[in-house]
Structure 1
Amino acid sequence: MKVAYVFSSTNSQKILNNMIIPQLEGGHHGAEVAGMFFFMDNAFFLLEGSKMGERLQTLHEKTGMLLMACDQCAIERGIDKKLVPGASIGCFPNLYAALGGAGVDQVITL
């Protein structure tokens, strides 16, 4: 199964940091992750120099998964030019285009 995650809630950090990332790093997540999209303050997860950003970048380099922050969220927070090298910014049309051919079976919003 191939999934994509949309991180929009305030609980996203705990779920991503304590569950999803360790499972992906350990190779036992149970699904292939095609991409992750980050809204509001969750865009900070992709900040260059942060531990979570570095872990996500490593996973991106290993798997090729999409890492994208909401463009308006990143710009409003002044981090649009400070994301990890593998991350991009965009809106839903960019997300659809980037994941369109990935064969995503499920989109999960957390």
Structure 2
Amino acid sequence: MKVAYVFATHMASTFKLATMILPQLEADHHGAEVVGMFFFDDNLICLRQGDPIGERLARVARQKDILLMMCDQCAVRRNLAEGTFEQCGSGEAKAKDTVEGVQAGCFPQLYNAQGGNPPDHIITL
């Protein structure tokens, strides 16, 4: 079973991802194939370059071919993407100062990126 996670609620990345999902992925016993993760609001802070959670996640994502994407508008607001609010949703905003492999985008970019490897289930945390 393929799953994608959407981190949308308060502390989802610093609690659920960092203490549950990530350790299971690192130990190879998560139980599902994770094909993507999408980060909203302050959940994308863990994707900053040098963040211990983000660096671990980038390593696992590279090994397991997991898409890491953050909301472009959330990233622009937090100075983690180059672009303007008018560019959000167009694919023009680009991630900056993040761990390796992170993309910035909105739903059109997410659907396009996951198109070749779609999840069976999407779990919002």
1:103 & 1:53 partners in 2: Cα distance? Answer: 23
Pair 1:95 & 2:96 matched: no
Pair 1:86 & 2:101 matched: yes
Question: Alpha-carbon deviation of 1:100?
Answer: 1.4
8 A Cα contact 2:6 2:124, kept in partner:
yes
Deviations, residues 8-52 of structure 1 (Å, cap 9, x unaligned): 001302111110000000000000000100000111121110001
SS in 1 for 2:76: helix
Give me the TM-score of the superposition, normalised by structure 2: 0.85
CA RMSD of aligned residues (A): 0.8
Aligned to 1:34: 35
SS in 2 for 1:62: helix
Superposition map of 1:1-110 within 5 A: 1-12=1-12, 13-80=14-81, 81-110=96-125
2:18 & 2:29 partners in 1: Cα distance? Answer: 15
Instruction: Report the residue type matching 1:107 in the other structure.
Output: I
Deviations, residues 36-95 of structure 1 (Å, cap 9, x unaligned): 000001111211100011011101111110000100000101112111121110000000
Structure 2: 5+ residue stretches without partners: 82-95
1:87 & 1:21 partners in 2: Cα distance? Answer: 16
Question: Alpha-carbon deviation of 1:101?
Answer: 2.0
Structure 1: 5+ residue stretches without partners: none
1:67 & 1:103 partners in 2: Cα distance? Answer: 14
1:62 & 1:91 partners in 2: Cα distance? Answer: 24
Give me the TM-score of the superposition, normalised by structure 1: 0.96
Q: Number of residue pairs matched?
A: 110
Largest Rg, 1 or 2: 2
